[in-house]
Structure 1
Amino acid sequence: MCIVAFAWKAHPRWQLVAIGNRDELHARPAEPAHRWEQAEHLLAGRDTLAGGTWLGISEEGRFAVVTNLYGFGPPVPERASRGDLLKDFLSGDGRYADIGSAEYSDFNPFNLITVAQDEALVHSNRPDKSTSILPGGVHGLSNGMIQQPWAKSPELNSRLERWMANGSDDPAMLFEYLLDQNSHEPAGLWGPSSATSLRPEHSPIFIRNPTYGTRCSTVVAIDHSGNGVFIERRFAASGSATGETSLPFAWPTP
């Protein structure tokens, strides 16, 4: 997932709304969003190459989404998959189930949002390990540093804010915001050694590219009664839609 806008306790109906695009090599195999057989409370897609996920929900009251972080050198293949962080945290089982004590140095650079026990946190492992509480409001992640977001991230945040301000009630409408193929590239940001680096081909919210591009768009919405929906739309290398999955679920209420 290369961009996500995340609304936390910012709407009279929705306690959580997350919208985002996963950008990845089209050749990398993945399973669509589904309930995992070994943990039926877990709803997520699956990266079948490494076994983890990029965004998911647990009906035990957990949410997580990760983005790669650019600007700190090429990835080290020997490191653990960033998807393992989400898989273990969401399932509640495994080496990284306790996100607070996880060894972030095991992974290539990442940004991560988690929700558990009615608390939203944002994590990163570059330039140092960090975890901060997210207050109520709209927040965003892309592949830039949390403190210096790429321009497309606040753009998507503002669209989600408008949707909420208009009193919109249909989460499916949010997919329109995720189809934007316009460039959002401020002058002077791109540089091969810059932590704020933004390649021009990565500047749109929706990346249409035959090799590496937007593989799926996801909308997650949970109301204050704990009723939720997880909707995933998938795309071919051409950018055309190939399928959609909608999964209702329930979250515990305080």
Structure 2
Amino acid sequence: MCLILFAVQHHPDWPLIVTANRDEFHKRPTEPAHYWKTTPPFLAGRDLQEGGTWMGIVPKPLYFAALTNFRDPFLKKNPAPSRGHIVEQALGSAEDTDSFLKKLKEEGAAFNGFNLICGTPEKLFYYSNQTEKSLVIPSGMHGLSNHLLDTPWPKVTRGCDMLDQALSKGAGEEDFFLLLQDRSIPKDRDLPDTGMGPEWERILAPLFIVNKLYGTRSSTVLRVHRSGEFFFTEISWDERGRETGRVRFTGQSGVRP
């Protein structure tokens, strides 16, 4: 996952709304979101190359987890375990989130840089192995890309503003997907410098990335209503930014410690 825009305890009817894009090489095999045969069963896509995932939920009681990579080619470890297994472990953990994150802090240095969001609509946590500190995410609007939480990259600030405006207008699911398809490229002076070089910084700068080698592979919208009902929809995209498939799941959630 490379962009997560989310509102937690920000809307009176929707305690958690997540809109997210997963950017990846097009040649990397992927399975769309589905229920995994795990205990507890959880809903997520699957990276068929390494076996992990980037975002998912345990439906009942509802528990959410998602991960982005921290982009810095100069800090890359090779070999390193797949970061997608962190989300898998978070969703499958029988421990409370504090205990899980404490264990993750002990093991986090083995992975390349990552950011993890996990928890319930009532209490979401953020952890990055670049800071080795975890925190409870305050209520409000937040954005996460390939740096730390709420780092003001153009795609993060633009995305959060667009999400806030959409919520204020009573937007529905399709409006959120339109938001995620924004292809605006910021001016060069506003681009982040992550060591990729100007050409790739431009390619990676929009919310929605279209490139024949690497781009937005899927978009996901998760909405959790105050009644406990959840809506999880994922759209898959090809290298030209064309929709190739859509899956949608609904259900009733609950409360997890």
Whether the TM-score (by the shorter chain) exceeds 0.5 is: yes
Is residue 2:149 matched to residue 1:146?
Answer: yes
Q: Report how far residue 251 of structure 1 moved.
A: 1.5
Paired residue secondary structure (1:187)? helix
Q: Report how far residue 240 of structure 1 moved.
A: 0.9
- Deviations 1:120-166 (CA, angstroms, capped at 9, x unpaired): 1111111x312111111010001123363311111111111112112
Paired residue secondary structure (1:11)? coil
* Residues 4 and 186 of structure 1: CA distance in aligned 2, closer, same or farther (over 3 Å): farther
Q: Is the 1:30–1:45 contact (alpha carbons within 8 Å) kept by the matching residues of 2?
A: yes
Write the letter of the residue equivalent to 2:45.
G
Is residue 2:122 matched to residue 1:118?
Answer: yes
Q: Is the 1:2–1:22 contact (alpha carbons within 8 Å) kept by the matching residues of 2?
A: yes
Q: How does 1:10-159 map to 2 (within 5 A)?
A: 10-39=10-39, 41-59=41-59, 60-71=61-72, 73=74, 75-92=76-93, 98-102=100-104, 103-116=107-120, 118-126=122-130, 128-146=131-149, 148-159=151-162
* Residues 167 and 31 of structure 1: CA distance in aligned 2, closer, same or farther (over 3 Å): same
Give unmatched runs, 5+ long, in structure 2: none
Q: Is the deviation greater in 26-35 or in 98-107?
A: 98-107
- Deviations 1:172-220 (CA, angstroms, capped at 9, x unpaired): 32100011111035516454649xxx81110111000011000001000
Paired residue secondary structure (1:85)? helix
Normalised by the length of structure 2, the TM-score is 0.89
Q: Is the 2:29–2:48 contact (alpha carbons within 8 Å) kept by the matching residues of 1?
A: yes
Write the letter of the residue equivalent to 2:158.
E
CA distance in 2 between counterparts of 1:228 and 1:10 reads 16
The structure whose residues are more often helix, as a share, is 2
Q: Give the match for residue 170 of structure 2.
A: 167
CA distance in 2 between counterparts of 1:249 and 1:172 reads 19
Paired residue secondary structure (1:135)? coil
Aligned length: 248
Write the letter of the residue equivalent to 1:175.
F
CA distance in 2 between counterparts of 1:25 and 1:61 reads 30
